[in-house]
Structure 1
Amino acid sequence: MSHQHLSLIGGVPDKRVRQPVRRVVAAVRDDLDAAIARDPAVDSRLEMMLASPGLQAIWAYRVAHRMWRRGGRWRLPARLLSQSARSVTGVEIHPGATIGRRFFIDHGMGVVIGETAEVGDDVMLYHGVTLGGRALQRVKRHPTVGNGVTIGAGARVLGPVEVGDQAQIGANAVVVKDVPAQAVATGVPATIRFPHEPRSQGDFFADPALWI
């Protein structure tokens, strides 16, 4: 009898199976709890799981990304999965993008994240955000977004720019240059400034310019 069969005697899964499953369950809980903390309209994991297109899109992306990383014949199925998720959720995330933990997209509709985009942990996007490219060559052509960044509705971050940790980008802003950590970027093209006092992630009420 093989080791694999022995490991399943009595219905006890092999440790090599249990550990990845636990990691997946922990990641899903992280995503759910982070989403609930940022969305006052929802107060249960079940409701968030069933009714949040942004969350459903990120879960589909995580599966597609694992397929994409395997390369070869897995890349077409990864792309097909991402396109299927787009048709259901209204969110387009290329499976080649790199996205960290506790990522949340509020409302979801119209978000586009390109192939070479890199997104850190605890990032929040509102609807209509684009992390897009400005080049046709096969190079790093999409933004790098740091940890704890909030990007307002309709904002465009274009090209291989870097957005520093805890930065905030206002609604409808067009960002084509780097945004330093803890800075605020608003307008078209975006202008950079620093608030007098540090603000928490998603605290748009303190600065009306972030809504414009």
Structure 2
Amino acid sequence: MFDYIRNDLNIYKGNWAAQGFWVMLVYRFGRWRYGVRIKLLRKLCSLIYKVLYKLVQIVTGIELPCEVEVGEGFVIDHFGGIVISGYARFGTNCRIRNGVVVGLKNVEDVVAPVFGDDVDIGTGAKVLGNIKIGSRVIIGANAVVLTDVPDDSIAVGVPAIIKSRKKV
């Protein structure tokens, strides 16, 4: 856990006041508590996690449950209005900004998006449903992504139009 926290702090350039770092700190603690073998201690850690999670959610406006799988280099730029489903998965070096929602398209279909590596999600984007977002993808500000996005693409608009990033 401490290696991850050190890495997260380096990503936020040593800024303990960065609200994205606070979220990641609570997230890391939440993931770590699953490995506590002593049942009573694990329950205590779970209680502490739930209180910290709610506190950080209220203060930062960011909802990142510990069930989400995030790769190394996950960055939350700008705080506020970020909601991520516990079913989502992120690759390495992904970046999200304020107003982003990653979640279910339908309540009956409990599957959230899976992201590749080096994905950059713009302000206000909504990425919903059982979809796969490839690696090296840029999702534009306020885009609504409801379909798969291949590697090396840009998704922009409502609903999102997928464009290749490769030059011809």
Aligned partner of 1:64 among 15, 30, 41:
30
How large is the Cα RMSD of the aligned pairs?
A: 2.5
Tell whether the 8 Å contact from 2:4 to 2:28 is kept in structure 1 after alignment.
no
Higher helix share: 1
Q: CA deviation at 1:65?
A: 2.5
Gaps of 5+ in 1: 1-22, 37-44, 198-212
TM-score (norm 2): 0.85
User: Residues of 1 paired with 2:112 and 2:50: CA distance?
Assistant: 18
1:120-131 equivalent positions in 2, closer than 5 A: 120-131=91-102
User: Residues of 2 paired with 1:98 and 1:69: CA distance?
Assistant: 15
Structure 1 match to 2:148: 178
Letter of the 1:35 counterpart: Y
With over 3 angstroms needed to count, the CA separation of the structure-2 counterparts of 1:136 and 1:165, relative to structure 1, is: same
Structure 2 match to 1:33: 10
Whichever of the two has the greater Rg, that structure is 1
Aligned partner of 1:85 among 50, 56, 72:
56
User: Residues of 2 paired with 1:69 and 1:152: CA distance?
Assistant: 34
Q: How many residues align?
A: 163
User: Residues of 2 paired with 1:55 and 1:102: CA distance?
Assistant: 12
Gaps of 5+ in 2: none
TM-score (norm 1): 0.69
Q: CA deviation at 1:170?
A: 0.1
Range that drifts further, 174-183 or 75-84: 75-84
1:18-29 equivalent positions in 2, closer than 5 A: 24=2, 26-29=3-6
Tell whether the 8 Å contact from 1:79 to 1:95 is kept in structure 2 after alignment.
no
User: Residues of 2 paired with 1:76 and 1:29: CA distance?
Assistant: 22
1:195 pairs with 2:165: yes
Tell whether the 8 Å contact from 2:125 to 2:142 is kept in structure 1 after alignment.
yes
1:158 pairs with 2:128: yes
Q: CA deviation at 1:142?
A: 1.1
Structure 1 match to 2:112: 142
Q: CA deviation at 1:95?
A: 2.0
Letter of the 2:92 counterpart: D
Tell whether the 8 Å contact from 1:79 to 1:94 is kept in structure 2 after alignment.
no
